[in-house]
Amino acid sequence: MTRLGTVLVVGVVVVLGVFGVWEWVDPASARAVNTLETVENTGPADNRIDLVVIGEGYRAAEGEAFRNHVDNLLGGLLATEPWASYRGAFNLYRIVTESVESGADHPSAGLYVDTYLDATYDYLGVERLLVVNEALAISVAADLLPEVDLVVVLVNDTLYGGSGGSVATVSATDVAVGILIHELGHSFAGLADEYTDPLPGFTPGDNEPNVDFDFAFDQLKWNAWVEPTTPLPTLLSDAVTDYLPVGAYEGARYLETGIYRPAPHCMMGSLEYDYCAVCAEALVLSVYDRVDPIDTVSPPESPVTLDRGAPATYPVPFEVATVALGGDAGQTVTWWLGDQEVGSGTALTLDLAMVGPENGTHDLRCEVTDDGTWVRNDPDHALASERSWTVVVTGVSSDAGVDEDGGLGPDGGPENGADPRGCACGTSGPSSASGRALVLILVLILLLANRRRRCRTRRTAWRTPRGPW
Ligand SMILES: [Zn+2]
């Protein structure tokens, strides 16, 4: 496959994605019984990117061929960075469909077959432009997997072909992985094409994260990746590798001049390369746009009360379940009690010794931060997440003495009005009616004033995957 051929396919694909020209519905196609199969499950669907591959042009007897093709396709995708490093953020599925015949239509050759999603080459007269009934594909995926985020259609045909948009379509060829990786750069991360081949009629712009009309350092949107010694604009003769230095190389988004890309080469310019650093960063940020690094925490509710008079209430085990990533990606988990760091790792045991001798309230926070090197520009702190609890320390230790004035002993807390006689007999004190009332009031005040904080407001609804842009 020549670069030009690749570019032509991808370029036309973008146009189609923008205008959504192949969204037709053929109810007659909805004849088969479809089956959802899990390829890889890494966690709860509402905190994962749920990617599904739908088979098209596979007859009932070709189910195993489809499964093998999916394994190869997803295996190639997940062997590519940064997908490999964030594998744990994805749930992967396949949908087995049954077509009457194999393959796809080839109108230019007068060949037509009866397939479930009506796949056809030659769209708009471009042989390699392979499209399907996109609306039906989305419907099939959503019916079986309501949480679906990304839809890929794998067409059982050996002729090179593909297309992008809200559904990525690829044929089962040796270069299917490359096509998919490129198209997901559009649909998942909102990346622009970085090649210069003209695309007449396409609206100029530089909104995508990997193209910029400006090349001056202060204005360059990816300047976090640019060394001070790198000339701007940057010439290909300045390049020391296919991807470095990151600078401002003229030519991208179907224009040879007046717009700049970050690196000498990139997957978004030609399928023979990897993503450049800026495109990889955009992909990782897109992961965190959809996935909270924290899955669950325990205890789930706040406030948490430690009653010195009730040993059963302490120590309190805290735990955070994080999204297990993969490859080179990792996380740092840090626990803070007020301004003091009190632990690291996913578990913490909070005991009275950590809160000190005074009764009162404390803010306990757990911070989870991506400690990888894929992202340098994270103004919204998307790579970090935290949970916090209000910890209420109250009561009197069971061995607490009683002051002459009726207050608490030297190891006790403040003179909070608890009945000292009750403390002595072990049936009152913090457990007395007045003590419980005070605690209740305090808890209510805290509930109103200190609602559980989160460093980021996570959306509860998944965003519809963007089109090519
Ligand atoms: Zn790039």
Q: Could you report the per-residue pLDDT of 1-21, keeping only the tens digit for each?
A: 334 344 434 444 443 433 333
Banded pLDDT at 327 (limits 50, 70, 90): low
| Cα 326 to ligand 1 centre (Å) | 22
Cα-based distances in Å from 45 to 85, 104, 166: 19, 32, 19
Whether 7 is in a domain gets the answer: yes
Q: 200: Cβ–Cβ under 8 A, 6 or more apart, which residues?
A: none
Residue 344 has pLDDT above 60, yes or no: yes
> 176 C-alpha vs ligand 1 centroid, how far in Å?
19
Q: How many angstroms does the Cα of residue 265 sit away from the middle of ligand 1?
A: 7
CA 280–ligand 1 middle distance (angstroms): 7
Residue 180: phi and psi, rounded to 5, are -65, -45
Distance 210 CA to ligand 1 centre (A): 6
What percent of the chain is modeled with pLDDT above 70? 77
* 444 CA → ligand 1 middle, Å: 52
What confidence score (pLDDT) does residue 398 get?
63
Q: Report the CATH number at residue 162.
A: 3.40.390.10
pLDDT at position 245, please? 98
Task: Give residue 199 CA to ligand 1 midpoint distance, Å.
Answer: 19
Pair 59, 118 in one domain: yes
Contact indicator for 323, 43 with CB cutoff of 8 Å: yes
What separation in Å is there between the alpha carbon of 282 and the centre of ligand 1?
9
pLDDT at 139: 96
Q: Is the peptide bond before 299 cis (omega within 30 degrees of 0)?
A: yes
What integer is the mean pLDDT of 194-202?
A: 87
- What is the per-residue pLDDT for 424? 28
Judge if 359 and 277 occupy the same domain.
no
* Residue at a domain's end among 236, 254, 289: 289
In the block, tokens 């146009």 appear at 15
Q: Which domain holds residue 298?
A: 293-449
* 33 vs 116 pLDDT, higher one: 116
* 196 part of a folded domain: no
Looking at residue 126, what is its pLDDT? 83
Instruction: Please tell me whether residues 15 and 121 are part of one structural domain.
Output: yes
Asked whether the beta carbons of 272 and 264 are under 8 A apart, the reply is no
**Ligand 1 center–CA 99 separation, angstroms:** 38
The answer as to whether 457 is a domain residue is no
Tell me the pLDDT tens digit for each residue of 238-281.
999 999 999 999 999 999 999 999 999 999 999 999 999 999 99
Distance CA 212, CA 55 (A): 38
For the beta sheet containing 35-40, the strands, ordered from the edge strand earlier in sequence to the opposite edge, are 35-40, 90-96, 49-56, 150-155, 167-171, 162-163
Residue 437 — pLDDT band, cuts 50, 70, 90?
low
User: Mean pLDDT score of the chain, rounded to an integer?
Assistant: 82
pLDDT of residue 425: 28
Q: What are phi and psi of 261, to 5 degrees?
A: -120, 165
For residue 148, the model assigns a pLDDT of 96
Do 164 and 312 lie in one domain? The reply is no
End position of a domain, from candidates 289, 309, 328: 289
SS3 331: strand
Q: How far is the CA of 268 from the centre of ligand 1 (A)?
A: 5
Cα 267 to ligand 1 centre (Å): 6
Question: Per the domain annotation, does 207 fall within a domain?
Answer: no
Count Cβ neighbours within 10 Å for each residue of 404-421 and write b for 16 or more, e otherwise: eeebbeeebbeebebbbe
Please state, for a pLDDT cut of 90, what percent of the chain lies above it. Answer: 67
Residue 406 · residue 320 · CB < 8 Å: no
Q: How far is the CA of 193 from the centre of ligand 1 (A)?
A: 8
Amino acid occupying residue 252:
A
pLDDT digits (tens, 9 = 90+) for 36-73: 999 999 999 999 999 999 999 999 999 999 999 999 99
Whether 299 and 444 map to the same domain: the answer is: yes
Same domain, 108 and 35: yes
Please tell me the distance between residue 328's alpha carbon and the centre of ligand 1 in angstroms: 20
User: Each residue of 65-124: pLDDT tens digit?
Assistant: 999 999 999 999 999 999 999 999 999 999 999 999 999 999 999 999 999 999 999 988
Is the predicted pLDDT of residue 414 greater than 90, yes or no? no
DSSP character at residue 229: T
Residue 352 domain flag: yes
More confident residue, 443 or 309: 309
Compute the half-sphere exposure of residue 452: CA atoms within 13 Å on the CB side of its CA.
Answer: 14
28 & 65 share domain: yes
Place of tokens 């649909």: 187
Domain end point (choices 267, 289, 311): 289
Ligand 1 centroid – CA 196 distance (Å): 13
Q: Is 258 left (phi over 0), alpha (psi -120 to 50) or beta?
A: left
Cα 181 to ligand 1 centre (Å) = 12
- Name the H helices within 298-430: 352-355, 420-425
Q: Quick one: tokens of 8?
A: 């032509």
Catalogue the E-assigned strands of 301-339: 304-307, 316-322, 331-337
182 and 33 assigned to the same domain: yes
Q: How many residues does the chain have?
A: 469
Flag whether 50 is in a domain. yes
Q: How far is the CA of 369 from the centre of ligand 1 (A)?
A: 25
Same domain, 61 and 145: yes
- What is the distance in A from the centroid of ligand 1 to the CA of 279? 4
Q: How far is the CA of 166 from the centre of ligand 1 (A)?
A: 20
> Is the alpha carbon torsion for 380, 92, 70, 331 positive or negative?
positive
Same domain membership, residue 303 and residue 284: no
Task: Report yes or no on 460 lying in a domain.
Answer: no
Distance 55 CA to ligand 1 centre (A): 30
| 172 CA to centre of ligand 1 in angstroms | 25
Ligand 1: centre distance to CA 332 (Å): 28
The total domain count for the chain is 3
Cβ distance 109 to 68 under 8 Å?
A: no
User: In this predicted structure, what is the pLDDT of residue 18?
Assistant: 37
Top-confidence residue, 26 or 246: 246
Q: Do 232 and 368 have their domain in common?
A: no
Residue 208 lies in a domain: no
CA distances in angstroms from 230 to 24, 182, 216, 224, 234, listed in the order given: 49, 27, 11, 12, 7
| pLDDT tens readout for residues 346-388 | 999 999 999 988 999 999 999 999 998 999 999 989 999 999 9
> Is the per-residue pLDDT at 435 higher than 90?
no
Distance CA 116, CA 105 (A): 12
Cα(4) to centroid(ligand 1), Å: 18
Ligand 1 centroid distance, CA of 440 (Å): 57
92 and 172 fall within a common domain: yes
Query: Quick check: 94 and 34 in contact, CB under 8 A?
Result: no
Residue 219 has pLDDT above 80, yes or no: yes
Cross-strand pairs, 96: 35
Give me ligand 1 centre to Cα 222, in Å. 11
Question: What's the pLDDT score for residue 368?
Answer: 96
Instruction: Look at residues 181, 345, 196, 375 and name the one whose alpha carbon lies nearest to residue 278.
Output: 375
Q: 194 CA distance to ligand 1 centroid (A)?
A: 7
What pLDDT is attached to residue 399? 59
What CATH number is given to the structural domain containing 345? 2.60.40.10
Ligand 1 mean position, distance from CA 190 (Å): 11
- For residue 240, report the distance from its CA to the centre of ligand 1, in Å: 16
pLDDT of residue 426: 30
| Nearest-angstrom CA–CA distance, 203 and 189 | 19
CA of 416 to the centre of ligand 1 (A): 63
Contact 198, 252 (CB under 8 A): no
